[in-house]
Chain A
Amino acid sequence: MSIEFLEAVIFDGLFAAVAAIGFSVISNPPRKAIYVSALLAAVGHGLRFFLMKNTSLDIGMASFFAAFSIGLFSIFFAKIIRCPAEVFSFPSLLPMIPGMYAYKTVLSLVKFMEHANDDTSTAIMVDIFRNGITTVFILFALVIGAAIPMFIFYKQSFMMTRLLK
Chain B
Amino acid sequence: MTDKPDVHDLLNFLLDYATTLMGVGVHTSRIVRNTSRIASRFGYETDITMFQKTIIMSIRNNESPRVYSSVKRTKVLALNFRINSNLSALSWRTYDEQLPLSRITELYNEIMAEKNMSRWWVLFLVCCANAAFCRLFMGDVWAMCIVFVATLVGFFVRQEMMRRHINHHFVFVASSFIASLIGSSAIYISACTTPQIALATSVLYLIPGVPLINSIIDIIEGHVLVGFTRFVNACMLIICIAVGLSSTLLLIGIDSL
A residues within 8 Å of B by Cβ? 12, 15-16, 18-30, 33, 45, 82-84, 86-87, 90-91, 93-95, 97, 99-100, 102-104, 106-107, 109-111, 114, 139-140, 142-144, 146-147, 150-151, 158-164
Contact = CB atoms under 8 A, between A and B. Distances in A.
Contact of A163 (B92, B121, B136): B92
A107 to B, nearest CB: 6
Given A147-B220, A158-B33, A94 B207 contact: yes
A114 B254 contact: yes
A18 B130 CA distance: 9
B216 A99 contact: no
B168 to A, nearest CB: 15
A40 B65 CA distance: 50
A103 B245 contact: yes
Nearest to B80: A28
* Dominant SS among interface residues on chain A: helix
A29 B82 CA distance: 5
A146 B213 contact: yes
Contacts of A158: 30, 33
Contact of A84 (B30, B127, B133, B196): B30
B96 A83 contact: no
Contact of A90 (B96, B133, B197, B209): B209
Contacts of A109: 242, 246
**Looking at B85, B92, B117, B246, which has the most chain A CB atoms within 10 Å of its CB?**
B85
A54 to B, nearest CB: 18
Given A25-B117, A28-B116, A103-B199, 16 more contacts: A19-B130, A24-B81, A26-B79, A26-B122, A29-B85, A84-B30, A87-B85, A94-B207, A97-B209, A100-B197, A109-B246, A110-B246, A110-B250, A146-B213, A151-B220, A163-B92
A18 B78 contact: no
Top 10 closest pairs, chain A to chain B, by CB? A22-B129, A103-B200, A18-B132, A27-B79, A161-B89, A29-B81, A162-B92, A161-B88, A15-B132, A28-B80
B209 A93 contact: yes
B230 interface: no
Given A26-B79, A110-B254, A150-B217, A84 B201 contact: no
Contacts of B213: 86, 90, 93, 142-143, 146-147
B128 interface: yes
Contacts of A164: 92, 96-97
B133 A95 contact: yes
Given A100-B137, A161-B92, A23 B85 contact: no
Contacts of B205: 22-23, 26
A95 B125 CA distance: 14
A98 B121 CA distance: 26
A21 B125 contact: yes
B209 A94 contact: yes
B228 to A, nearest CB: 15
Given A25-B125, A99-B137, A163 B220 contact: no
B96 A162 contact: yes
